[in-house]
Amino acid sequence: MPTSRVAKRPDAVSLAVVLTHLALVFAPVYVTAALGGGWWILPCWLWYGLTMNGLLNLMHEAAHYHVFRARAANNFLGRWVLGPLALADFDSYRQRHWDHHRHLGDPDDPKTTYHMDIRGRRLLTLAGRCLGLIEAVRKFRHQADAHDDEPVPGQSLEWMLRVFLVHALFGGSILALAARAHRGEPAVGTLTAAILAYGFVYIYGIASVTVFAANLRAIAEHQIGDDHANRTGLAALRNFSCNPVTRLFFGAYGFGEHATHHRLPAVPYYRLTPVTETLAAKDPAMAQVNGYVGTIISLVRQTGSSPSLLPEDPAT
């Protein structure tokens, strides 16, 4: 593989991208802390929940050591920033993700989300399960049961310490902003604004909207449909045509070039587009023709059963 395809860009550029993305994603949380209750809470909840899915993609890049040049910098970003903010054990996530690469489409693939049946009204059922936090609980339990020989997410002392410290700083910053914005008002106004920002926009946002968006993304990327996507076992492999909105919500950090990433995981996300074009010239199935939304709609409209829909999956 040519060196130019895997060469890392300057860390200063990557740091600027990371900080800008973090500011974009968490702005609704702080807006809610500053403004308190009002009609804007629902848009802030929705904006945070959707954009946080894109930030999860950044955690994926850190797991591949693609964000910064030094492995230690990627580990710091994943363990001390992205993992705690996503309420995820970064090291356990990295292990599961590499197992997903090694066993894509096999019974041993730890990622089971793409086997969910979303045909017809089942998509609404999935949305209801996400809003009711059923999917968030199922996802956590699945991660805990998937690797009995590894530390259970949330039970590692180091992981819990990192989460406590990060959330103490994060929650403290929300409370400080709320106190400043509602200075002169009764203390209940400050506490209400902070609780809405942290509890509703952040916690409920990630446990409901982000989980729903992450499920749809995984289904679009790997569920076998009526198109001519390449297949590996019981998984499809697709690249996607992204506009700025779907890139931000679903395809950030090379996820729009998902099939290319699975074929060449050593390529950083900002090098995937030209590599994808080269691959598509030889294999039309690698072309970025259909988008995430169009793919999801086609999977919803399927009338026949797909081999991706495993009968033993509880969501089917």
| Rg (alpha carbons) of the chain, rounded to whole number | 20
pLDDT (tens digit per residue) in 133-157: 999 998 877 665 554 445 444 456 8
* pLDDT one-digit tens code per residue, 159-182: 889 999 999 999 999 999 999 999
Residue 144 confidence (pLDDT): 59
User: Residue 221: which of 301, 299, 120, 305 has the closest Cα?
Assistant: 299
CA distances in angstroms from 290 to 96, 171, 245, 250, listed in the order given? 28, 40, 15, 13
Q: What pLDDT score does 45 carry?
A: 98
The pLDDT, as a whole number, for residue 313 is 43
For the chain, the domains span 3-300
Res. 4: pLDDT tops 70: no
Residue 142 makes CB contacts below 8 A (sequence gap 6+) with 112
- The predicted pLDDT at position 82 comes to 97
Confidence tier at 22 by pLDDT (50, 70, 90): very high
High-pLDDT (> 70) share of the chain, %: 91
Between CA 219 and CA 135 the distance in angstroms is 14
Q: What is the pLDDT of residue 140?
A: 75
pLDDT at 3: 56
Q: Which amino acid is at 151?
A: P
For range 122-129, the mean pLDDT:
96
Q: Confidence class of residue 223 from pLDDT cuts 50, 70 and 90?
A: very high
Report yes or no: 270 and 253 within 8 Å, Cβ to Cβ.
Answer: no
Mean pLDDT across 125-138: 94
pLDDT at residue 196 in the model: 98
Query: What digits encode the pLDDT tens for the residues 26-83?
Result: 999 999 999 999 999 999 999 999 999 999 999 999 999 999 999 999 999 999 999 9
pLDDT at 94: 94
Res 157: pLDDT: 80
Least confident of 87-96, 107-116, 226-235, 301-310: 301-310
* pLDDT above 80: residue 5: no
| pLDDT for res 315 | 39
Supply the pLDDT for residue 276. Answer: 96
* pLDDT digit string, tens, across residues 257-290: 999 999 999 999 999 999 999 999 999 999 999 9
Q: Is the pLDDT of residue 308 over 90?
A: no
Q: How far apart are CA 207 and CA 273, in angstroms?
A: 31
